[in-house]
Structure 1
Amino acid sequence: MRLRFGPAALVIAGALALAGCGGSDTGGSGGSGSGKAELSVGSAYMPQPVSDDMAAGFLTVTNKGGAADDLTSVTSDIAGQVTVHETVDGAMQEVKSLKIPAGGRLELKSGGDHLMFEQLKRKPKEGQTVSVELHFAHSDPVKVEMPVKPATYTPKTGH
């Protein structure tokens, strides 16, 4: 499925384009052996949604292990569904999974790969946190508390 940005999505995309990634590391999964993924999650945040039914989320998954893994799905109690998207040539496209390379990282950031929270059950406000659970092909799920930042948030650190 390939989605093109319409006028409403351009407003959201414009607000999100002003945002980056920042924050502290939380959570972890995997083992210390070189043959397993060793995942940690950091730089998580959600810009305060400008829409009543949709929001975006950003974070970084770091893999210090010797095996790759895949982010396969995300769940959250605030959304009817959370989908994983990549952005190619200005168009966001839902994907079934995103690779986390061995010894590498998966960066979900404004203008690139990201999470879409759809069918919001409540609209998160700046200062609140959103609980999400990341699911992987091989590693145990990781729970993350995602702080809600201003819609125009630009972190001082991160990628």
Structure 2
Amino acid sequence: MRRRAVLTAGALAAALALTGCSASAADSDSKAARLSVSSPYMPQPVSADMAAGFLTITNEGGAGDELTSVSSDVAGQVTMHSTTGGAMAEESSFRIPAHGRLVFRSGGNHLMFEQLKRAPKQGQTVSVKLTFAKSGPLTVEMPVKSATYNPSTGH
């Protein structure tokens, strides 16, 4: 009987220790950024050397992160821009708050694909690599839509 009590106590202690590890692992995961991308698209470029790109980055984690660079095999460089009060400015990075979003949309923050190596056509996709200060990079397949595409109507 004493042996069973010792075994039971040992098993209980082991279970509690594992539960403690699981809880601390979950706590540390919730304090990290958890990034995902939605609604990516590129309007078919009307210029031979430049195009724009739009997407939303959502952070469901408990820590913020920062988008530090964007690259694509279709362009010599991809720059990030903000638009405030009609004035466009190139940005070196964008913050993505914990439990928040970073939105790139027409008339606001946007990506500029410069020095195009080929002209993306409607129906094709463009591969885009997003690099962050803390999280690993994300590669996104960005569909090329019509030059007049409006995401709110789907046309």
* Bin of the TM-score, shorter chain as denominator length: 0.7 to 0.9
The one of 109, 113, 132 equivalent to 2:128 is 132
Q: Residue type matched to 1:125 in 2?
A: K
Per the alignment, residue 50 of structure 1 pairs with 46
Per the alignment, residue 146 of structure 1 pairs with 142
**Cα distance in structure 2, aligned partners of 1:117 and 1:61:** 18
Please state how far the C-alpha of 1:143 moved relative to its aligned partner. Answer: 0.3
Unpaired segments of 5 or more residues in structure 2? 1-27
Question: RMSD of aligned C-alpha atoms?
Answer: 1.6
Provide TM-score, normalisation by structure 2: 0.79
Unpaired segments of 5 or more residues in structure 1? 1-31
Residue 62, structure 1, aligned to residue 64, structure 2: no
Per the alignment, residue 74 of structure 2 pairs with 78
Per the alignment, residue 122 of structure 1 pairs with 118
The one of 15, 18, 33 equivalent to 2:29 is 33
Moved runs in structure 1, 4+ residues, more than 6 A? none
Per the alignment, residue 104 of structure 1 pairs with 100
CA offsets 1:67-103 (integer angstroms, 9 cap, x no match): 0001110010000000010001212110110010100
Aligned-pair identity in percent equals 70
Question: CA 1:61 to 1:157, structure 2 compared with 1: closer, same or farther past 3 Å?
Answer: farther
Provide TM-score, normalisation by structure 1: 0.77
Q: Residue type matched to 1:126 in 2?
A: Q
> 1:33 aligns to what SS in structure 2?
helix
> 2:103 aligns to what SS in structure 1?
strand
Question: CA 1:62 to 1:46, structure 2 compared with 1: closer, same or farther past 3 Å?
Answer: same
Q: Residue type matched to 2:54 in 1?
A: F
Q: Residue type matched to 2:130 in 1?
A: L
Q: Residue type matched to 2:142 in 1?
A: M
Residues paired across the two proteins, number: 128
Larger helix share, 1 or 2: 2
Please state how far the C-alpha of 1:48 moved relative to its aligned partner. Answer: 0.2
Higher relative CO (CA 8 A, sep ≥ 6), structure 1 or 2? 1
